[in-house]
Amino acid sequence: MVRLIVKNYGLPHYICDYRNINLDEEFEQFKSDNTDIFLELILLAWADTLGSQYKNQEGLEFKIDFFAKVVGGFSNNH
């Protein structure tokens, strides 16, 4: 399982882009392709995003909100 997590570690970052016009479809495919490690990958991506320094504030806020909603319906406003 650890190898799968490492191998697919960057996928949530790649898919979750506010400019991605196929976000919903790609995210659902990602979710169905990675059912065993989905939550782990999302949590890692969310933690990375929270600890990063983005130059694009809109992109940063989008990712934080997106991952928060996936994990439990929280937003960065709570």
Q: pTM value?
A: 0.82
Q: Mind listing the pLDDT tens digit for each residue in 13-68?
A: 999 999 999 999 999 999 999 999 999 999 999 999 988 887 888 889 999 999 98
pLDDT at residue 18, as a whole number:
93
User: Cα separation of 3 and 73, whole Å?
Assistant: 29
Tokens read off for 23: 């976000």
From 28, 34, 29, select the one nearest 3 (Cα to Cα). Answer: 34
Q: Mind listing the pLDDT tens digit for each residue in 46-57?
A: 999 988 887 888
C-beta of residue 9 within 8 angstroms of C-beta of residue 44: yes
C-beta of residue 13 within 8 angstroms of C-beta of residue 45: yes
